[in-house]
Amino acid sequence: MELRWSDVQAIAEALYDANPDLDPLTLSFVRLHAMVTALPEFDDDPERSNEAILEAILQAWLDERA
């Protein structure tokens, strides 16, 4: 399955699965962006992200950890 920026929940799940012990609150948006674009399933324009999308991914990742 290819991931796009609009797949916030799926991206959060993939990040959690790849980094189960990482506290997402320790990440800058720059680092989070890099981690998303490095996911093997990610297939979208890296420039299409914005702060709102990254915040949504961060929140969904936090929810995954709960």
Q: At what angle do helices 29-38 and 8-18 cross, to 10 degrees?
A: 90
Helix segments in the chain, DSSP class H: 8-18, 29-38, 51-65
Distances (CA, A) of 56 to 24, 31, 60: 12, 15, 6
1 has a pLDDT exceeding 90: no
pTM equals 0.96
Ordered by where they begin, the domains of the chain are 8-65 (1.10.10.600)
Q: Could you tell me if 23 and 32 are in contact, meaning their C-beta atoms sit under 8 angstroms apart?
A: no
pLDDT in tens, 12-45: 999 999 999 999 999 999 999 999 999 999 999 9
Confidence grade of residue 11 (pLDDT, cut at 50, 70, 90): very high
64 has a pLDDT exceeding 90: yes
Task: Report residue 41 as tokens.
Answer: 């399933």
